[in-house]
């Protein structure tokens, strides 16, 4: 089953939690979230449902990660 994950970089405080849960996430040089192995401007991605990604979304303190 696929789910859509959306990044909202302007909400990100560079805490680093999302990458500790899932390798889907990476950071720009300034610590702001981006998708790993994607061009920097990609803000939405369809991925396989994964408990680790769901945990990252659930635990983001600023809701910079969303699931559709």
User: pLDDT of 2-59, one tens digit each?
Assistant: 999 999 999 999 999 999 999 999 999 999 999 998 777 899 999 999 999 999 999 9
| CATH number, domain containing residue 17 | 3.30.70.20
The confidence score (pLDDT) of residue 26 equals 95
Domain enclosing residue 26, as ranges: 2-67
CA dist 19 and 26 (Å) reads 6
- pTM, 2 dp: 0.91
In contact, 13 and 62? CB cutoff 8 Å: yes
The confidence score (pLDDT) of residue 24 equals 96
Total domains, the chain: 1
The confidence score (pLDDT) of residue 40 equals 74
Give the model confidence (pLDDT) of 48-67 as tens digits.
Answer: 999 999 999 999 999 999 99
């Amino acid at each position: 089953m696929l789910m859509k994950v959306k990044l909202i970089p302007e909400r990100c405080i560079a805490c680093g939690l999302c990458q500790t849960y899932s390798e889907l996430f990476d950071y720009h040089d300034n610590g702001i979230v981006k998708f790993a192995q994607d061009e920097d401007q990609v803000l939405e991605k369809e991925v396989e449902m994964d408990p680790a990604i769901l945990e990252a979304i659930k635990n983001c303190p600023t809701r910079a990660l969303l699931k559709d």
